[in-house]
Structure formats: C-alpha cells, structure tokens
Amino acid sequence: MRRGFYIGRFQPYHNGHQSVLEHISREVDEIVIGIGSAQISHLPDNPFTAGERVLMITRALASLGCPFYVIPIEDILRNALWVAHVQAMTPPFDLCYSSNPLVMQLFKEAEITVQSPAMYERETLSGTAIRSRMINGEPWKNLVPPVVVQVLDEIDGVERLRQISQKD
Ligand code: ATP
Ligand code: MG
C-alpha cells in the first residue's frame, strides 16, 4: 500500500490542483490531502473555511478512482515541528508531493521522499489570480472544476470575498 501526501490551502481549489491530483492518483494506491491553514477563513487571502474547502475537494474528486482522505491541518507556527504535526493528523504516508520550497525543505529534513509535480498553466491557475478575478468581476469559472462553482454558489463565496476585501 503506497500512500501519497499533498498539501495546499485550496483558496479556492482549482484546475491546477485537480491536474496534480489526477497525476498522483496514477502513481499511488491512496492519497492523503491536507488542507493547510485550516483555522483561517474570512480573510482576503484565505476566504473559505476548512469545511467549505473539504466540500470543494471531496466533490471535485468524486470520480477520481483512487481512495483519498481530506484532512484539515491547523497552523502551528513552528516550522521545525510542522512535519510531526502533519503526521499526527494524517494516515501514514510514504511520499509527499509538493512544489512549495518550504514544504519541500521540511519534508526532506524529516527524510520523507518529496516529488515536485509539474505546474499547469501557472499564470492563470493560481489561487491568488482566481481570487483577484472574483473580486474584479473577471471570468474565473473556467479555472475551477464545475462542482467548485456549485459550492461557491451555495455559500455565496464571491460576495463574501468582495465584502471582506473592501476597506472601511
Ligand atoms: P495561492 O496563490 O493562494 O497560494 P495556489 O494556486 O498556490 O494558491 P495552494 O493552495 O497554495 O494554491 O497550492 C497547493 C499546492 O498546489 C502547492 O504545492 C502549489 O505549488 C500547487 N499548485 C498551485 N497551482 C498549481 C498549478 N497551476 N499547477 C500545479 N500545481 C499547482
Ligand atoms: Mg500557493
């Protein structure tokens, strides 16, 4: 049984994440997905709750054909202990998939194999770019899986993001 770990904030979950997870699903038996900064929501860079992000990911991966676990992980603000914190919250895994330099460094120091998935259309497929499009009323629905559009509709996510991004 080979389990792979993938972590992000998924603010929101987008087609870049989906492509990476489809790739990972062909290499491992099970996937553990960590939702980072799980305690943060209702901020311009982190608008959605961990529960809302669980919903986006779970629905988007419904037909992945590879078992997966979605696990919210709160920040501990202590990088030296972070990998142990992650491991305490997740099923055991054999390797970590990440392109984030800090995440890669921390897992390597813990002697866990790290693989860096290729970036897919990083210019447009980035949480930062998508949040900015939402705020500015530019097209964004083609950049996330259709079920994510549905979740964002249900929670009135774009309106929330616009509201909390305003100055008083
Ligand atoms: P933000 O701009 O808010 O940081 P993001 O698009 O980088 O959002 P994260 O949740 O930070 O999304 O990313 C989780 C993981 O997904 C990271 O390892 C990141 O490198 C990776 N990732 C993000 N966008 C893509 C993409 N377009 N293709 C492949 N991997 C991606
Ligand atoms: Mg990022």
Residues 92-146: pLDDT tens digits?
999 999 999 999 999 999 999 999 999 999 999 999 999 999 999 999 999 999 9
DSSP assignments along 54-111, one per residue: HHHHHHHTTT-SS-EEEEE----S-GGGHHHHHHHHS---SEEE---HHHHHHHHHTT
Q: Is 53 in the pocket of ligand 1 (CB under 6 A)?
A: no
Residue 146: how many other CB atoms lie within 10 Å? 10
pTM to 2 decimals?
0.97
Domain containing residue 57: CATH number: 3.40.50.620
Cα separation, 49 vs 160, whole angstroms: 12
Name the 3-class secondary structure at 141. Answer: helix
Q: Is 63 in the pocket of ligand 1 (CB under 6 A)?
A: no
The range of the structural domain enclosing residue 100 comes to 3-164
Question: 60-97: per-residue pLDDT in tens?
Answer: 999 999 999 999 999 999 999 999 999 999 999 999 99
pLDDT band at 39 (very low <50, low <70, confident <90, very high): very high
pLDDT at position 148 is 98
CA of 17 to the centre of ligand 1 (A): 7
- How many domains does the structure of the chain reveal? 1
Question: 7-26: per-residue pLDDT in tens?
Answer: 999 999 999 999 999 999 99
pLDDT band at 41 (very low <50, low <70, confident <90, very high): very high
Angle, vertex CA 115, rays to CA 143 and CA 132, nearest 5? 25
- The protein residue whose alpha carbon is closest to atom 4 in ligand 1 is 127
Residue 88: how many other CB atoms lie within 10 Å? 9
